[in-house]
Structure 1
């Protein structure tokens, strides 16, 4: 069984999904890839312990704290490649940014292969089912520009400003 809660944040509503043991996803209302690979109409609106912890984590995050995402069990339902990309993002410290190119180089030492991975990395980042928890908003273009964010560029900028990140 899957359970959900909708939480109001300073950047709009977030839908949180859980199986009762782990968080399955977190999406901004009307974002690209909303719901990911899940049918949210089949989930029950109930506030499980995992969802309560996730809501507290988000409350702390929006209060300007840097909560530890390791306190929230995440269950990834993604391809092995996307899992590699998302695991790389999870290593990125609060308030720091990374470029798509840097992520490619984390995945391979082969320069040509790294160049060929850029679109795949962009897709993996864009389809991240854990908005904010896995910080895809910290990925910027090679020139520091704000590019692509499923939740919208205004939200991406607001999240980076909240973290006092330089970009």
Structure 2
């Protein structure tokens, strides 16, 4: 996946578009607009995989390279969230236990984890929708649909 650009495809399941920003073979962003960017192309292998996922095909997307250009503490949280398997869920406190140096009893740590979840630039590939009591990088209706799809 060495292509670069903006790619978008409409999803009837989500009642929105799924829009990807890709550069140097890495996913930079995943967004869920009602209207895609004017220059978005509709054909991309990752859009095909997302479409299959939204139709019920299990995919953990672990082979997808995501460019996490953010502070290390946020990146550490999102990398751990990628380890939550399809169909499983966790809480903010459970994520805190997964991240080295974080405590599930420290309010500052829990706030930092919530901030990282909310800043997720690549939802679906980084499944913050699986953290059931935290913010996600997707609109709430999209997160609900993704949880229902995975039986969470």
Q: Give TM-score, length-normalised by structure 2.
A: 0.82
Match of 1:21 in 2: 25
Matched, 1:78 2:80: no
Match of 1:140 in 2: 132
**Candidates 155, 158, 161, aligned match of 2:142:** 155
**Candidates 58, 61, 72, aligned match of 1:66:** 58
Specify which structure has the higher proportion of helix. 1
Q: Note the 1:50-129 alignment, pairs <5 A.
A: 52-108=44-100, 111=103, 114-129=106-121
Q: Structure 2, unaligned stretches of length 5 or more?
A: none
- Count of residues in Structure 1 that have an aligned counterpart in Structure 2: 146
Match of 1:37 in 2: none
2:92, 2:26 → 1: CA distance? Answer: 28
Q: Residues 112 and 60 (structure 1 numbering): CA distance in 2 closer, same or farther, change over 3 Å?
A: closer
| Coordinate RMSD, CA, aligned | 2.5
Q: Structure 1, unaligned stretches of length 5 or more?
A: 31-39, 142-146
**Candidates 10, 26, 35, aligned match of 1:8:** 10
- Contact 1:104/1:115 (<8 A) preserved: no
1:161, 1:8 → 2: CA distance? Answer: 19
2:104, 2:66 → 1: CA distance? Answer: 33
